[in-house]
Amino acid sequence: MSNDKKDNSIFIGQKDTMSYVLACITAVQAGAKELILKARGRAISRAVDVAEICKNRFMKDQVQIDKIDIGTEQIQSKDRGTFSVSTMEITLKFK
């Protein structure tokens, strides 16, 4: 994943989906014009849910999905050795 614009990144993990939606709304109210939702592994579906909820429910006509980047990261683990994890970045632009 790219590391530019760290200030506008929201890392999606195991929290409730609405927690991330609230983080997006808070960032927009603070003046953010662009947000990057970053997720990997099983959290990718949650990131898609957050983007769609923001776009279709809470910020209708205020947000558009600008870009989606997908990739793979190599992870080192003592238990499993080296394995690959899927990654996704969803860039949201606000009007």
- Which segments of the chain does DSSP mark as H helices, in order? 17-29, 44-53
For the chain, strand residue ranges (E) read 9-11, 34-40, 63-77, 81-94
Rounded Cα distance, 89 and 47, in Å: 9
Give the CATH number of domain 6-94: 3.30.110.20
- pLDDT tens, residue order, the chain (95 aa): 444 444 789 999 999 999 999 999 999 888 889 999 999 999 999 999 999 999 999 888 888 999 999 999 998 988 888 999 999 999 999 88
For the chain, which residues make up each domain, given as ranges? 6-94
pTM score, two decimals?
Answer: 0.84
